[in-house]
Amino acid sequence: MQYTLKGKIALIIGSTGGLGQAISKKYIDAGAHVISVGRNISTLEEIDDYAQRKNSSTTIVQLDIKNSQKIKNLAQEIKIRFGKLDILISLSCILGEVTPIQYYNEDIWKNVIDTNFTANFHLIKNMHSLLEKSDQALAMFATGRMSEENKAYWGAYSASKAALEELVKTYAQETLTTNIKVNLVDPGPISTNLRCAAFPGKNKEDFRKPEEVADLFVTSSIRSNIISGETISYKMTVA
């Protein structure tokens, strides 16, 4: 199905991951100008090449999401160049260790919390005024349920995801009377490096490919019946 997002500015954090690449391409296909953010420059360049083949354009930004000053600088650059932000998608996530808390490496713990949780606080803080400039803005934050049945040993991952969900729900409540919709998105089990690391005994073919669920993030940006604050899930959209 073809969707139209012509004239929309979409910031995709975590564009160089498997799901991020798939979503970036879907947004390019839909006509949005995608600001692709990630750490892998070669993958960012591949996304840019894809946009050019589609006679479109994209902006690629190599950035470590944990660097709050660079997030602030990115927001300033978006303001100067585009004046607004219509869509914010945050996908950056790392697993960390799967080990008892008493043995958890402190540096790894901090890295997981900074990446999965604190970085999203800085995104909201710095991108909010740009989302306000959009006629109809949407902020989506990826979450997942893969740790719920494996609470033991999931330490920083479980803690960071629980904190992220509360942060996003709070932001949704604070923006109910604005033009901004704020949602968590659960794409379900996907064949990504993170999931394969979490379940090394599973075959990659047991999970859906990122391309299969990327449409979820596009359709969510144009559906008028989505309620701010709810969790959008792959199961919900295909049921």
Say if CB 234 and CB 212 are below 8 A apart: no
- Classify residue 124 as exposed, middle or buried by CB count within 10 Å of its CB (0-12, 13-18, 19+): buried
Once rounded to an integer, what is the mean pLDDT over residues 25-34?
Answer: 95
- The token duo for 107 is 């540096």
Beta-strand runs (E) in 52-179: 58-62, 87-90, 137-142
| DSSP label at residue 174 | H
Percent of the chain with pLDDT over 90: 64
Predicted local distance difference test score (pLDDT) of residue 13: 97
Rounded Cα–Cα distance for residues 16 and 38 (Å): 5
pLDDT tens for 161-213 read 999 999 999 999 999 999 999 999 988 656 555 554 555 555 556 666 777 77
Rounded Cα–Cα distance for residues 166 and 194 (Å): 22
Domains of the chain: 9-238 (3.40.50.720)
pLDDT tens for 59-95 read 999 999 999 999 999 999 999 999 999 999 999 889 8
Q: Do you know the residue count of the chain?
A: 239
**Across the strands, what pairs with 140?**
89, 183
